[in-house]
Amino acid sequence: MPITVGHDTAKTRKTLKVGDQSLAYYSIPAAEAAGLGDFSKLPAALKVVLENMLRFEDGKTVTTDDIKAFSEWATKGGKNPREIAYRPARVLMQDFTGVPAVVDLAAMRDGIVALGGDAQQINPLNPVDLVIDHSVMIDEFGNPRAFQMNVDREYERNIERYTFLKWGQSAFNNFRVVPPGTGICHQVNLEYLAQTVWTDEDQNGETVAYPDTLVGTDSHTTMVNGAAVLGWGVGGIEAEAAMLGQPISMLIPEVVGFELTGEMLEGTTGTDLVLRVVEMLREHGVVGKFVEFYGSGLDNLPLADRATIANMAPEYGATCGFFPIDDETLRYLTNTGRDQDRIALVEAYAKENGFWRGADYAPVYSSTLSLDMGTVVPAISGPKRPQDHIALNVAHTEFAKYVKGIREGRDATETAEIRWEGEGGQPEPREIPGDEGHHQRGYVLTDDGHYQLHDGSIVIASITSCTNTSNPYVMIGAGLVARKARELGLNRKPWVKTSLAPGSQVVSHYLEAAGLQEDLDAIGFNLVGYGCTTCIGNSGPLEPAISKAINDYDLIGTSVLSGNRNFEGRISPDVRANYLASPPLVVAYALVGDMNHDLVNSPLGQDKNGKDVYLKDIWPTSAEIAELVEKTVTREAFQEKYADVFKGDEKWQAVETTDAETYDWPAQSTYIQNPPYFQGMSKDPGTISNIEGAKVLAVLGDMITTDHISPAGSFKETTPAGQYLIDRQVPVREFNSYGSRRGNHEVMMRGTFANIRIKNEMLDGVEGGYTKGPDGEQTSIFEAAMAYQDQGTPLVIFGGEQYGAGSSRDWAAKGTNLLGVKAVIAESFERIHRSNLVGMGVIPFEFTGGDTRKTLGLTGDETVSISGLDTIKPLQEVPCEITMADGTVKTITLKCRIDTAIEIEYIEHGGVLHYVLRNLAKSA
């Protein structure tokens, strides 16, 4: 579908000739010559946004004042938060977030027909790629049949969802689906979909070149910034609006410059670098900002390492972490099989339009910080936040401190009755005393005898996630660690669930070509699937005996992952402490099976001759890794594996679906249901009303993540979501996960605020999704919300700092809305979740004047009224009246985080999709 560029563009539209190609483009130097400002000192990341303004300038949505604001940004020290309308080139989705987005589009087709419009008005105007990567679960592991068995179970569990997505692929224009088993969306994007410079025809039939840009419904969309493609995660709601032609309303961001100098030392990895970067940027404070990396160190930083750093932008809180185009960008595009004409275009366009990072690259930044890569040490991060950086040589002592904090006050001589199967198959009681450090131990019987679990036993070691499996240096490194360990006779500990889930099939190709997959298999890191697995809570169940021991004796089970997320309750309900590490370290930790182990100074085990083996004995050199990468990671491998990327295997091709403009919602489906958002919707919007007499649904602490608000992992039959499925004759084995059921609002409402580790401060010492109902008694948050809805009582949520951190899941906002919450009042918000709340008609507010839930002494028994909303302006402060339980009244001032004028309209309409739907209906 042609792009529609602006009209007042003659001054800046030029022609670029590259070989035999002749393309139109929008010239930043031409804009300077036309007197629109001096843009020479802008960071490349911001020049991408500026080019977007030039291309879509129309005197209405985008004006010359918007363009001039970028020049003022540079002269004002890297700050000019003007509201602009930004249009990304394309949209990227994965299936967990993509299914509810396609559900919404299908519901909007029903909605527009009901409003008198045409179903074909609901179609993506921008290219949309959906990669099915979040549905494979690690049920089977550690054996050659693991991959096929997990794929078979994936299709059994998800056939309703896959049927629906295949319908969407045929029903909607501009919408492609990458089938299961291909790879993780961000890695597929980096290795294949992304072009760095995009081309398309405009409304006049001319080919236009412009920077490749996108938004994605997953927060790690930022990964592709490593290849100079500007992209970031948005909620599914915002992505749907972008698909339908609605520009993204944003403020011109600050850009933090992060200077990299020096080079990595022998024995360190790109993962060690990114964990240090995350720590530094979290401390610096980059929420809502771009980060751009520059400096001489980039000359020594492969694009795979750049992508790892860019991937982790959500973990350091930035909108994105951007790397400008340079020689390394061209090398990567060549090596990953991009067309040679495209690579020539990227170089010519970047140099012609001021995007190239040369020796003289020295832009203005809003603020800067610097890191000598030679100071980076081997490290891990955890146990529950990515920014909690721990040098590897003190990891065991830091873990001991963590355990002591958890166990404080418990009796060190406490005993536990351990039941296990004796020789005759009968339960046999054992009394095992707790040891020093308050570790309780549980026996688990295996075929070879028994072993003990204790606080710190590593029960999951997983090489997974787009973050690291996109990086051949660390993946080859992991394979070499496995090879050396195998040669010396070391193996994983039997209680460790090991898995390898690469981000693309190319990884398997080069591991097999190097002969390293055989070594990984030998110590239990067999291929289990191509997908996100642990990052999204799809770790699969532990062995029943291990799970029982952990839960019966309240052990602190541990995981070590090469992923990007380690939030509480995310990885596995049986695992409390989660550590992020490089793939080679994941292998090493599997060999010792214990976080209490000093991995640096203590032996990992003994070789075949009884000699101690240390980490240094199995750690490969940089030269060894580089030699294998050069030999096996080839252009031909990428071209071969991506030749039929949309075709899928026989299972995908066999999925049958209907051919219809609107979806025939299956009444009995527990995966896909028609959501209530647009049913009975009027043609005209309402007005914003003051909030009067609201009750408190939850009082939450700092760093409440979207995982806490809308968990993605497994759930039990005792939960409201589990009861809903039990009532519909769904067996527990078929529950799947919250993430897989995001197409069913009934499940997701019941899962909102249902994370097993969330703590509602209205209750003392209680974890999980509980609150006080209208009668003052403890009940589930869902049941309390429904009781309040029956009474017609509005609800509010109170929170602390960084409310809504983490993944860009739209259901954290959708669920909040459907529970009847009208406002969330917090100390601060993470960018994506604030936007999502507004997109679903829920108003975010921030405390002012030093007020917090703690200084106000909130218990959740208060009644809340907020006025001034009927005349609200962006970022306006409004009065809030809090009636305490004893009848006293406190009046405070809140800052309304409706940030822009268009967001006021979204709230008036009840959400951004309602706004788009009504406008489309009017145009019909």
The pLDDT assigned to 387 comes to 86
Give the dihedral of Cα atoms 867, 870, 871, 874; nearest 10 deg.
Answer: 80
Give pLDDT tens digits for 393-426: 999 999 999 998 888 744 332 322 233 333 333 3
Helix axes 270-284, 472-488, angle to 10 degrees: 130
Q: Is the pLDDT of residue 205 over 60?
A: yes
Please give the full DSSP string across 127-138, using - where no structure is assigned: -EEEE--S----
pLDDT, average across residues 607-624: 96
What span, in angstroms and rounded, lies between the C-alpha atoms of 917 and 84?
A: 22
Under a CB-based contact definition with an 8 Å cutoff, are residues 809 and 565 in contact? no
Instruction: Please check the confidence at residue 204 and state whether its pLDDT lies above 70.
Output: yes
| Model confidence at 375: pLDDT above 60 | yes
Residue 658 CA to residue 656 CA, distance in Å, equals: 7
What's the pLDDT score for residue 416?
29
Separation of alpha carbons 662 and 603, rounded Å: 63
CATH 3.40.50.20 is right for the domain spanning 253-324+361-377: no
**Cα atoms found within 13 Å of the Cα of residue 681, Cβ hemisphere only:** 29
| Single-letter amino acid, residue 732 | V
- Taking the C-alpha atoms of residue 800 and residue 828, their distance in angstroms, rounded to an integer, is 7
Tell me the pLDDT band of 449, cut-offs 50, 70 and 90: low
**Spacing of C-alpha 792 from chain mean position:** 35
Provide DSSP, 814-859. HHHHHTTEEEEEES-B-HHHHHHHHHTTPEEEEE-TT--TTTTT--
Encode 840-858: b = buried (16+ Cβ within 10 Å), e = exposed: bbbbbbbbeeebebeeeeb
Name the DSSP class of 802.
T
> If pLDDT is split at 50, 70 and 90, which confidence band does 560 have?
very high
Query: Over the stretch 421-440, which tens digit does the pLDDT of each residue have?
Result: 333 333 333 333 333 433 44
Dist CA 29 CA 524 (whole Å): 56
Q: Whats the size of the chain, residue-wise?
A: 924
- Are 823 and 694 in contact by the 8 Å Cβ rule? The answer is yes
Q: What percent of the chain has pLDDT over 70?
A: 94
553, two tokens: 């004796």
The CATH number of the domain covering residues in 379-640: 3.30.499.10
Q: Identify the residue whose tokens are 């009504």.
A: 918
Burial class for 790, CB neighbours closer than 10 Å (0-12, 13-18, 19+): exposed
CB 556 within 8 A of CB 538: no
Q: Which residues contact 819 (CB under 8 A, 6 or more apart)?
A: 697, 749, 752, 753, 781, 782, 785, 789, 795
| Token pair for 651 | 């299972």
Distance of CA 256 to the CA centre of its chain: 21
pLDDT at 856: 97
Digit-coded pLDDT (tens) for 252-300:
999 999 999 999 999 999 999 999 999 999 999 998 899 999 999 999 9
Contact 474, 510 (CB under 8 A): no
Write the pLDDT tens digit of every residue in 131-172: 998 877 788 889 999 999 988 888 988 898 999 999 999 999
Kindly give the pairing relationship between strand 427-433 and strand 442-446: unpaired
Characterize 462-474 residue by residue with b for buried, 16 or more Cβ atoms within 10 angstroms of its Cβ, and e for exposed: bbbbbbbbbbbbb
Hey, which residues does 893 pair with through a beta bridge? Answer: 879
For residue 665, what are the contacts with CB-CB under 8 A and spacing of at least 6?
672, 673, 674
In this predicted structure, what is the pLDDT of residue 239? 87
Reported as a pLDDT band with limits 50, 70 and 90, residue 6 is: low
Q: Are 812 and 836 in contact (CB under 8 A)?
A: yes
Question: Could you state, in order of their start, the residue ranges of all structural domains in the chain?
Answer: 253-324+361-377, 379-640, 691-710+752-923
Assess contact for 81 and 112: CB atoms under 8 A: no
Tokens representing 649 are 């295997």
pLDDT of residue 808: 66
What is the pLDDT at residue 433?
35
Protein fold of 691-710+752-923 = Aconitase; domain 4 (3.20.19)
Whether 185 has a pLDDT exceeding 50, the answer reads yes
Q: Is the pLDDT of residue 701 over 90?
A: yes
* Mean pLDDT for all residues in the chain: 90
Residue 131 CA to residue 94 CA, distance in Å, equals: 5
Among 89-98, 277-286, 482-491, the minimum mean pLDDT is found in: 89-98
Question: d(Cα 238, Cα 838) in Å, to the nearest integer?
Answer: 10
Say whether the peptide bond before residue 427 is cis (omega within 30 degrees of 0): no
Which of 342-351, 529-538, 742-751 is the least confident region? Answer: 529-538
Residue 690's CB is within 10 A of a number of other CB atoms, namely: 13
**DSSP string for residues in 77-111:** TS----EEEE--SEEEEEHHHHHHHHHHHHHHHHH
- Say whether pTM exceeds 0.85: no
The DSSP symbol for 390 reads: E
- Report pLDDT for 1: 57
φ and ψ at residue 792, rounded to 5 degrees: 75, 25
User: What is the C-alpha separation between 528 and 901, in angstroms, rounded?
Assistant: 48
- Average pLDDT for residues 109-113, to the nearest whole number? 93
Closest among 724, 726, 714, 725 to 756, alpha carbons compared: 714
Phi, psi of 232, deg, nearest 5:
-155, 165
Write the pLDDT tens digit of every residue in 492-522: 999 999 999 998 999 999 999 999 999 999 9
What's the farthest any 2 CA atoms get from each other in the chain?
90
Angle CA 74–77–83, to nearest 5: 65
The single-letter code of the amino acid at 30 is: A
Helices marked H in 125-196 — which ranges?
A: 146-171, 185-188
Q: Is 80 exceeded by the pLDDT of residue 770?
A: yes
Identify the three-state secondary structure at position 327. Answer: helix
